[in-house]
């Protein structure tokens, strides 16, 4: 097994630079998710690691060995593609054993490894079928089986769940997590779905426009986003954000509504400073229906009108009018609310985030 | 007023049936019937003498016919395989081109735009032993100081014909295989790279199985084409020298028009058609199997 290191990695297509010199250390046996909106360069980065795209600048090391100029076959990696990329003219068993056949392994050896992988992924009864006779979920499992059989140093996943329906996606996600626990291999996983990234990975790399915005554990990127972009990208529903001006110990929003400056930022702001204020739906709730007590002195209460509610059973998303916009709040132990009803809301300001309005960088409190 | 008793669908289909009958069914039946007569164009009355299977027995026991038959199969085998290899090579090269691919595709199809008769004349000139371009080039390059009798030596004449045939029709393979390459998903090829394949192994195990159906379509089309090869041969050698390039259809054409033995020629033609049918069935079977293999949805 092997660590993967990216140094000042650059990808250019002609004059267009799409990956701008990113640095990343993936530890041995770590599960890393590259996440970001489409066009952020995450797939390109993965494909450079795989050797399917040329590196325009910088270096890639796998297991301490520079692999820039090595073809994919010499990198000892496995890749699971979004489209599965199975060989349609081969049976499931042949698909899974193909890399071993190419490597010149004996038929017995191949069969043993294929059977082992098939047992892990519950594919035993499908081994003689062709990909065209399989469902989407089954194809995905075969693609994973093909990756496992190779026993690579590094597993690469390129949006492997995007072609599956919601229910299957959750199932296969769990299987991938189990697989990581079992294989003890380095895994790099590309997705645009932050839930997948959060649930699967040891660390998340959030990318945007060919740059890395933040690298951190799921808790870190959720609780301490370094930029406004990360704050908005991670978390569902997304963080409520709006611009405000510091005035007289308070934050003044465009419509004139005011919130106290969150206590931990008290010393860090100057009058007239423009900031972006952010607060997650979890940290706004109808008073008495929240999760955390947090710092009770930092909870600010205000009466706000309800626009609409989205009951989810165990909780209800309540949309409230604040500063002329709909802000989302999360109501635990929900009680029925009517649209237009004025409700006393608690804002847990100890968990508020402030970002510089120009750079988008998080302000330290 | 009897027409009124026919129902509307029958009435509407009638013109199509009449036309088909007039231009296809009747001539077909007529030619089939004439293959059982000693019909000669110069003696119309012979059309009415029925001789049963005599023409067929004569044809099947005629050594010249079987030689022409065998030579046609040889031409078919050599030309088709050569065209396939060259076409595949061309398609792979054009597929790699990053710029001007459309232009290359158009240029590649140029030979197909020439009439086979003109191709025959052109190659007849090029392979001429005295004034031909090929000998001139070979001598200028110092590769030989002899005048090679391209169209005069029997074996060389066959090779010359094959070259002309290959030149004019390699594009059929190239275009169809290129279509296959363009339609092919890229992911399995990338998966093969990651799985450890060398470029050759990728081609052998992944790309080629995808292209096979396209190659077989080209094979089917071209086998029908070559099995009725006539024009290029007629122009370049007219079956000569000493019948060393005689093919089925030059033999049939000679029998029908030069010798005016239409009944006999029709018997030969019906035997020759069997050849085409056998090849078509063979390639269609291969095509169906190859399509099934890649799970094609067309």
A11 phi and psi, to 5 degrees? Answer: -130, 125
Q: Where in chain B is the domain with CATH 1.10.3720.10?
A: 63-293
d(CA B203, CA B189): 8
Fold classified for A240-356: OB fold (Dihydrolipoamide Acetyltransferase, E2P) (2.40.50)
Which among B196, B205, B210 has the least Cβ separation from residue A73?
Answer: B196
Per-residue model confidence (pLDDT) at position A208: 94
pLDDT at residue B80 above 70?
yes
Fold classified for A4-233: Rossmann fold (3.40.50)
B188 touches chain A (CB under 8 A): yes
Q: What Cα–Cα distance (Å) separates residue A327 from each residue in A6, A252, A304, B182, B256?
A: 39, 16, 10, 49, 92
A89 touches chain B (CB under 8 A): yes
**H or E stretch at A305:** strand A299-311
Per-residue model confidence (pLDDT) at position A190: 96
Copy the structure tokens of residue A235: 């978390």
Interface test with B, best of A49, A101, A102, A110 (most B CBs within 10 A): A102
d(CA A185, CA B162): 58
Per-residue model confidence (pLDDT) at position B2: 54
Per-residue model confidence (pLDDT) at position A171: 86
pLDDT-above-70 percentage for chain B: 97
Chain B partners within 8 Å of A79 (Cβ): 190-191, 194
Per-residue model confidence (pLDDT) at position B298: 52
Name the DSSP class of A27: P
Instruction: Find all residues with CB under 8 Å of B273, minimum gap 6, and list them.
Output: none
Answer whether A65's CB lies under 8 Å from A153's CB: no
Q: What is the pTM assigned to this prediction?
A: 0.81
Domain boundaries, chain A: 4-233, 240-356
pLDDT at residue B1 above 60?
no
Measured CA angle at B201 (ends A176, A157), to 5 deg: 15
Answer whether A149's CB lies under 8 Å from A113's CB: yes
Residue that the structure tokens 């030149």 belong to:
B167
Q: How far is A194 from chain B (nearest CA, A)?
A: 25
Chain A partners within 8 Å of B198 (Cβ): 73
Q: How far is A50 from chain B (nearest CA, A)?
A: 7
d(CA A176, CA B215): 40
Name the DSSP class of A238: P
pLDDT at residue B237 above 90?
no
| CATH number of the domain located at residue range(s) B63-293 in this protein | 1.10.3720.10
d(CA B56, CA B268): 7
Q: What is the sign of the dihedral through the CA atoms of A349, A350, A353 and A354?
A: positive
Task: State ipTM.
Answer: 0.84
- Average pLDDT of the residues in B128-146: 85
Per-residue model confidence (pLDDT) at position A266: 85
pLDDT digits (tens, 9 = 90+) for B160-211: 999 999 999 999 999 999 999 998 888 999 999 999 999 999 999 999 999 9
**H or E stretch at A325:** strand A325-332
Answer whether A83's CB lies under 8 Å from A130's CB: no
Contact B295 A131 (CB under 8 A): yes
Copy the structure tokens of residue A203: 């660390």
A71 touches chain B (CB under 8 A): yes
Copy the structure tokens of residue A348: 């847990």
Chain A partners within 8 Å of B294 (Cβ): 88-89
Per-residue model confidence (pLDDT) at position A292: 66
**H or E stretch at A224:** none
Among A171, A83, A155, A92, smallest CA distance to A126 is for A92
**H or E stretch at B13:** helix B8-20
A54 touches chain B (CB under 8 A): no
d(CA A141, CA A118): 9
Per-residue model confidence (pLDDT) at position B136: 87
| Weakly modelled stretches of chain A, pLDDT under 50 | none
């Amino acid at each position: 097994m092997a660590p993967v290191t990216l140094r000042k990695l650059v990808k250019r297509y002609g004059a267009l630079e799409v990956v701008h010199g990113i640095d990343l250390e993936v530890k041995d046996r770590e599960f890393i998710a590259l996440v970001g909106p489409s066009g952020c360069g995450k797939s390109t980065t993965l494909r450079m690691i795989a050797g399917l795209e040329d590196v325009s600048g910088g270096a890639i090391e796998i297991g301490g060995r520079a692999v820039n100029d090595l073809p994919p076959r010499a990198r000892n990696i496995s890749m699971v593609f979004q489209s599965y990329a199975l060989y349609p003219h081969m049976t499931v068993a042949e698909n899974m054993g193909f890399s071993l056949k190419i490597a010149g392994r004996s038929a017995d050896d191949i069969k043993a490894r294929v059977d082992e992988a098939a047992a892990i992924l519950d594919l035993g009864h499908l081994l003689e079928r062709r990909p065209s006779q399989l469902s989407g979920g089954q194809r995905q499992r075969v693609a994973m089986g093909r990756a496992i059989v190779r026993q690579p140093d590094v597993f690469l996943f390129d949006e492997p769940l995007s072609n599956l329906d919601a229910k299957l996606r959750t199932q296969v996600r769990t299987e991938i997590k189990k697989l990581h626990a079992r294989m003890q291999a380095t895994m790099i996983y590309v997705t645009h779905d932050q839930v997948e990234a959060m649930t699967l990975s040891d660390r998340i790399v959030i990318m945007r426009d060919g740059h890395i915005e933040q690298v951190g554990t799921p808790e870190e990127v959720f609780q301490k986003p370094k930029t406004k972009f990360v704050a908005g990208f991670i978390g569902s529903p997304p963080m409520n954000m709006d611009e405000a001006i510091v005035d007289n110990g308070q934050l003044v929003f465009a419509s004139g509504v005011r919130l106290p400056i969150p206590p931990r930022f008290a010393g860090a702001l100057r009058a007239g400073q423009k900031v972006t204020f952010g607060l997650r739906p979890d940290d706004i709730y109808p008073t008495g229906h929240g999760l955390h007590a947090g710092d009770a002195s930092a909870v600010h209460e205000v009466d706000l009108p309800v626009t609409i509610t989205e009951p989810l059973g165990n909780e209800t998303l309540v949309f409230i009018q604040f500063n002329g916009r709909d802000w989302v709040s999360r109501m635990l132990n929900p009680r029925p609310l009517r649209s237009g009803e004025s409700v006393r809301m608690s804002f847990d300001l100890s968990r508020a985030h402030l970002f510089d309005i120009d750079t988008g960088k998080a302000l330290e409190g | 007023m009897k027409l009124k008793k026919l129902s509307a669908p029958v009435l509407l289909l009638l013109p199509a049936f009449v036309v088909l009958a007039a231009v296809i069914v009747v001539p077909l039946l007529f030619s089939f019937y004439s293959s059982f007569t000693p019909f000669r164009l110069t003696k119309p009355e012979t059309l009415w003498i029925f001789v049963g299977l005599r023409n067929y027995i004569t044809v099947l026991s005629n050594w010249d016919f079987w030689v022409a038959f065998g030579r046609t199969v040889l031409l078919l085998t050599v030309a088709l395989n050569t065209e396939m290899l060259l076409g595949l090579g061309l398609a792979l090269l054009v597929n790699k081109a990053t710029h001007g691919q459309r232009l290359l595709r158009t240029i590649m199809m140029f030979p197909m735009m020439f009439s086979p008769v003109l191709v025959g004349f052109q190659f007849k000139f090029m392979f001429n032993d005295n004034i031909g371009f090929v000998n001139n080039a070979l001598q200028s390059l110092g590769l030989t100081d002899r005048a090679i009798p391209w169209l005069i030596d029997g074996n060389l004449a066959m090779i010359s014909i094959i070259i002309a045939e290959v030149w004019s029709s390699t594009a059929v393979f190239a275009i169809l295989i290129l279509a296959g390459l363009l339609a092919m998903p890229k992911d399995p090829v990338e998966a093969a790279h990651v799985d450890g394949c060398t470029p050759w192994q990728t081609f052998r195990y992944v790309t080629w199985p995808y292209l096979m159906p396209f190659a077989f379509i080209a094979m089917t089309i071209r086998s029908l084409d070559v099995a009725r090869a006539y024009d290029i041969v007629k122009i370049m050698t007219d079956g000569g020298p000493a019948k060393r390039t005689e093919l089925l259809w030059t033999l049939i054409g000679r029998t029908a028009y030069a010798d005016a033995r239409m009944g006999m020629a029709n018997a030969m033609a019906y035997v020759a058609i069997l050849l085409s049918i056998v090849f078509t069935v063979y390639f269609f079977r291969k095509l169906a199997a190859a399509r099934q293999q890649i799970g094609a949805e067309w």
